[in-house]
Amino acid sequence: MNLLSKIYKKDKLEDIFTPNTIAKLTYINRSIVEKDLEKYLSLPGKQIIVYGHSGSGKTTLIRKSLNNKRQNFIKTHCESKTTFDDLLLQAFDDLNKFYIHEKNSNSQYSISAELKAEYAGLSSKVNETKNTSHEKKETRIVPIQLTPQKLAQFLGEINCVWLIEDFHKVAEIEKRRIADVVKIFIDTANDYKEVRIICIGAVATARELIELDNNLNNRVAELQVPLLSEDEISQIINKGFSLLNVNIDDSTKEKVVFYSNNLAAIAHQICFDLCFDSEIRSWSFFKRNIKTTSFKEAVNSYVRKNSDTFTKIYDTIIREPSGWNILKTFENSAKEMLSFNEIKNKIPKNKRIADEEMLTFLSQLQLPEYKEILRYDRSSQKYSLASPFFKAFLKMKFALEKTEHSNAIKTSDNRRNNKYSIDSSHTQDFNIDEDYFTSFNEILERLILESGAKSGRIRIKHTRRLK
Ligand SMILES: Nc1ncnc2c1ncn2[C@@H]1O[C@H](COP(=O)(O)OP(=O)(O)OP(=O)(O)O)[C@@H](O)[C@H]1O
Ligand SMILES: [Mg+2]
């Protein structure tokens, strides 16, 4: 982009760092997963399950690839109570933009007059409602003609992909119906090459769908989207700050990489907060710096924002014996998965609980009452934190605790030093009491040790306290 167009159309902070929406301006290429996805998208009939941790970039990756391919798509979201009929209706509604409004399309299409009329006819039927007696609420009826086959035909006519987000959240029975529809879409590809379903799910959920039907095994591609590498997070930071024309020093950049814990969502959030706190809202011709205090404020803000979810669970866990140490062990460890002994040995002996008790506690941490923060893998017999967001939270929480602790010590030292300073400005506070002697004794010991270390002559192991 040349300078004139940059001045005319300044990039805005919220379009550069996008913690809650897909990345566009700071998008960094992920060659391996992008290439795999491109391959699957070019194979007619191949259905795709994309899975990975929340915040790993699944939606961003798919949307980017579909837009690059100029591929039309509709999207539906699942919640735990979503039924298959809800999904069918959501998908049907989303087709409105193609069949009724004829806008928002990536690729050109032409719809036969017959199918268009059929869509319009079904549309009025779909909007009829019925009262469900026991819940006393209105629900929409799925007309008998709106079958999954018909939906596949509506999609096929406009070369459209169906994105089903968070499929893992629905109940087992609804998952079975999704699996059935995936099979129908495989067949539809004989008439319409582009039509397909892409299911997006949480980490380790791809098998949940495929195992429901053996026929899906070879026709469904599983694509795992890993968390971003530290280098990829670094690239996002560089790209964003350069687009804003703002300096970021290496040390702050390293901190953002460390605390974001390989999650692009957190890196975007911290960078957004750093700029916002430094009153940077968009690109500017003159290079600017971020305020030195902004990093701590960004970390504080993340912890505050998560107080309802993570702080509550953190407080509950640290109230239990060994709780704080277990969390600290996971936070500190470079390894994602730890065995029972690895956890136990990292806990100081005086803070350790009995093995039995610890095993029970580790099992409890996998239950909903502890928000299932821990996972246990039977084959490796190792434990891991279920959410990388929780680990990122722990990194920040412990860092803030450490800062608070050292500030508290500093304040108490200062108070003490001021109180007992021989400097005349403090003489009105001067009291000879027990604290005075303790403090005097400490200073004396330090002086003797320092002079001993310098001359190499004096060694003091213990000095009797003055009273
Ligand atoms: N390749 C990328 N380059 C830059 N930023 C990215 C990239 N991928 C994802 N992000 C950013 O990471 C964050 C999370 O991305 P996204 O919403 O795609 O993740 P997700 O895996 O779909 O998460 P969820 O499972 O919670 O829906 C967003 O802030 C997005 O802007
Ligand atoms: Mg997503």
Task: Report how far ligand 2's centroid is from the alpha carbon of 467 (Å).
Answer: 66
The residue type at 261: N
Which CATH number applies to 230-305?
1.10.8
Q: Flag whether pLDDT at 365 surpasses 90.
A: yes
Q: For residue 250, what pLDDT band results from cuts at 50, 70 and 90? A: very high
Task: Report how far ligand 2's centroid is from the alpha carbon of 165 (Å).
Answer: 7
Q: Is the CB of 268 under 6 A from ligand 1?
A: yes
* pLDDT digit string, tens, across residues 75-92: 999 999 999 999 999 999
Closest C-alpha residue for ligand 1 atom 13:
265
Q: For residue 132, what pLDDT band results from cuts at 50, 70 and 90? A: low
Q: Flag whether pLDDT at 371 surpasses 70.
A: yes
Q: What is the dihedral of CA 85, 88, 92, 95, to 10 degrees?
A: 160
Query: Which ligand ends up closest to the CA of 202?
Result: 1
422 CB burial (10 A radius; 0-12, 13-18, 19+): exposed
- Kindly tell me the sign of the dihedral angle through the C-alpha atoms of 142, 146, 148, 152: negative
Mutate to test the pocket of ligand 1, among 13, 22, 235, 390 (most ligand atoms within 8 A of CB): 22
Task: Report how far ligand 2's centroid is from the alpha carbon of 201 (Å).
Answer: 8
Task: Report how far ligand 1's centroid is from the alpha carbon of 224 (Å).
Answer: 14
Asked whether 192 and 155 are in contact (CB, 8 A), the reply is yes
Q: For residue 455, what pLDDT band results from cuts at 50, 70 and 90? A: very low
Query: CATH 1.10.8 spans which residues of the chain?
Result: 230-305
Rounded-to-integer distance, Cα 293 and Cα 403, Å: 13
Residue 2 is classified by DSSP as -
Segment among 173-177, 366-370, 425-429 with least mean pLDDT: 425-429
Query: Mean pLDDT of all residues in the chain?
Result: 87
Q: Kindly give the number of the ligand 1 atom that is closest to the alpha carbon of 29.
A: 1
Q: For the chain, give the percent of residues with pLDDT over 90.
A: 69
Asked whether 11 and 284 are in contact (CB, 8 A), the reply is no
Q: Flag whether pLDDT at 385 surpasses 70.
A: yes
Query: How many other C-beta atoms lie within 10 A of the C-beta of residue 327?
Result: 23
Rounded-to-integer distance, Cα 143 and Cα 141, Å: 6
Task: Report how far ligand 1's centroid is from the alpha carbon of 53 (Å).
Answer: 10
Q: Kindly give the number of the ligand 1 atom that is closest to the alpha carbon of 28.
A: 3
Query: Which ligand ends up closest to the CA of 163?
Result: 2
Task: Give me 139's structure tokens.
Answer: 């629900």
Task: Report how far ligand 1's centroid is from the alpha carbon of 333 (Å).
Answer: 25
Q: For residue 133, what pLDDT band results from cuts at 50, 70 and 90? A: low
Q: Kindly give the number of the ligand 1 atom that is closest to the alpha carbon of 239.
A: 4
- Which positions ≥6 away from 234 have C-beta within 8 Å? 253, 257
Give the mean pLDDT of 374-400. 94
Closest CA to 81 of 200, 205, 213, 173: 173
**Phi (first) and psi of residue 341, to 5 degrees:** -65, -35
Crossing angle of helices 388-420 and 323-332, in 10° steps, is 110
Q: Is the CB of 337 under 6 A from ligand 1?
A: no
Q: Is the CB of 262 under 6 A from ligand 1?
A: no
Query: Which ligand ends up closest to the CA of 27?
Result: 1
Q: Kindly give the number of the ligand 1 atom that is closest to the alpha carbon of 30.
A: 1
What are residue 201's DSSP bridge partners?
51
Q: Kindly give the number of the ligand 1 atom that is closest to the alpha carbon of 20.
A: 29
Q: Flag whether pLDDT at 127 surpasses 90.
A: no
**445: enclosing H helix or E strand:** helix 434-455
Closest CA to 53 of 174, 201, 173: 201
Give the mean pLDDT of 246-256. 95
Q: Is the CB of 54 under 6 A from ligand 1?
A: yes
Rounded-to-integer distance, Cα 420 and Cα 332, Å: 39
Q: Which residues of 53-64 are buried (b: 16+ CB within 10 A; e: fewer)?
A: bebbbbbbbbbb
Q: Is the CB of 22 under 6 A from ligand 1?
A: yes
**Phi (first) and psi of residue 352, to 5 degrees:** -80, 140
Q: For the chain, give the percent of residues with pLDDT over 70.
A: 85
Residue 356 vs residues 318, 372, 385: alpha-carbon distances, Å: 19, 20, 20
pLDDT value, residue 50: 96
Q: Flag whether pLDDT at 459 surpasses 50.
A: no
Task: Give me 271's structure tokens.
Answer: 């960078």
Query: Which ligand ends up closest to the CA of 234?
Result: 1
Residue 124 vs residues 145, 404, 450: alpha-carbon distances, Å: 12, 62, 89
* pLDDT digit string, tens, across residues 47-80: 999 999 998 999 999 999 999 999 999 999 999 9
- Look at residue 163 and give its three-state secondary structure: strand
Rounded-to-integer distance, Cα 286 and Cα 244, Å: 10
Q: Which residue has the higher pLDDT, 1 or 207?
A: 207
Q: Which CATH superfamily is domain 31-224 in?
A: P-loop containing nucleotide triphosphate hydrolases (3.40.50.300)
Asked whether 383 and 290 are in contact (CB, 8 A), the reply is no
pLDDT value, residue 126: 85
Mutate to test the pocket of ligand 1, among 16, 60, 257 (most ligand atoms within 8 A of CB): 60
pLDDT value, residue 439: 56
Q: Is the CB of 234 under 6 A from ligand 1?
A: no
Query: CATH 3.40.50.300 spans which residues of the chain?
Result: 31-224
Q: Flag whether pLDDT at 462 surpasses 50.
A: no
Segment among 142-156, 195-209, 224-238, 383-397 with least mean pLDDT: 195-209
Q: For residue 39, what pLDDT band results from cuts at 50, 70 and 90? A: very high
